[in-house]
Structure 1
Amino acid sequence: MIFFIFLLACAAAASTGIIFKPGAWYESLVKPSFTPPNWLFPVAWTIIYLLLAWAGYRLSLIPGSQMVLALWAAQIALNTLWTPVFFGAHRLLAGMVIIVLLWITVAAMVVLAVRLDLITGLILFPYLAWLCVAAALNFSILRNNR
């Protein structure tokens, strides 16, 4: 049951991608050469959200995981916020601020999770890696589309 609560939170975050689609505005932006193909985004995020729910569930079973779970809650809120700000409001700088805060939050979450349970920390690592790509992409788009 607890896993499904984490999965529901991830589904709520994912739903912003359905509501605020990249569309013609995003296609018109100057993007860097390392921009992943469009089909990869939903695949990557689906895997990341499933891993996030699994990690949240695992953390909920570990005594003393309150701080990591608080970071989990903070990251899902920031994650949910980024899409409507970037794709909905077309606010590139605000999106950059959010993704930097998200990266810091997830990095702290990974470090603390590894200390509590190596497997859970490893489960979260692909998310941090993908955020590195996403942040670099956001930064490049911000720089090239003023």
Structure 2
Amino acid sequence: MFWIAFVIFLAACFGAGATGAMFPPGAWYRSLNKPSWTPPDWLFPVAWTTLYLCMATAGARVAVADDNAIAMGLWALQIALNTLWTPVFFGLHRIRAGMVVLGCLWVAVAAAMVALWQVDWIAGALFAPYLLWVTVAGALNGAVWRLNPEVARAGGAQPAE
């Protein structure tokens, strides 16, 4: 039963990750000012693949456990918000709205981690790297907003080239 649940959760994770292919960073993102500590481009797919494997494992472990309703609801909420950020930030070029989505995602991931931990401590621990990565993503989104106030004010308009 665990493996069936794992495949389902992994499909949900990679469905969320597919938005990265549908809305790649592209020239708009490359043209933005970014902080010096921005992770290199190659790290993003490596990190997300690892995180999605951890998230799917956590979800599958708790899905087959008793008293899992809150944890499963929060797992669903965080994957929905995870799916939303890429089209908002990279697709619509909405830096401020991306920050709002990331703030909500951070809360959902933190709450999911606690709820998962209460059902299965290993599942909760598997969400810790995800919370760390979302924290870094939030700091990066915030820094991009701060470094590109004219683009953020334009609310999706293309910067002058």
Which of the numbers 119, 123, 126 marks the counterpart of 2:122? 119
* Partner in structure 1 of residue 26 of structure 2: 23
> What is the aligned-residue identity percentage?
55
Match of 2:145 in 1: 142
| Deviations, residues 48-102 of structure 1 (Å, cap 9, x unaligned) | 1111111110010111111010000001000000000000000001000000000
* 2:153 alignment counterpart: none
Number of residue pairs the alignment of both structures matches? 146
- Counting only pairs closer than 5 Å after superposition, residues 5-24 of structure 1 correspond to structure 2 as 5-24=8-27
Q: CA deviation at 1:109?
A: 0.8
Distance in structure 2 (CA, Å) of the matches to 1:139 and 1:75: 20
Deviation per CA, 1:16-60, whole angstroms, max 9, x where unpaired? Answer: 001100011111111111110000000000101111111110010
CA RMSD of aligned residues (A): 0.7
The TM-score, its normalising length taken from structure 2, stands at 0.89
Hey, what does 1:92 align to over in structure 2?
95
- Structure 2 unaligned regions, length at least 5: 150-161
Q: Within 2, Cα distance between the matches of 1:2 and 1:45?
A: 20
Report the CA distance between 1:130 and its aligned residue: 0.3
Q: Provide the C-alpha distance between the structure 2 equivalents of 1:77 and 1:114, rounded to a whole number of angstroms.
A: 20
Q: TM-score normalized by structure 1?
A: 0.97
**Structure 1 counterpart of 2:80:** 77
Post-superposition, which runs of at least 4 consecutive aligned residues in structure 1 deviate over 4 A?
none
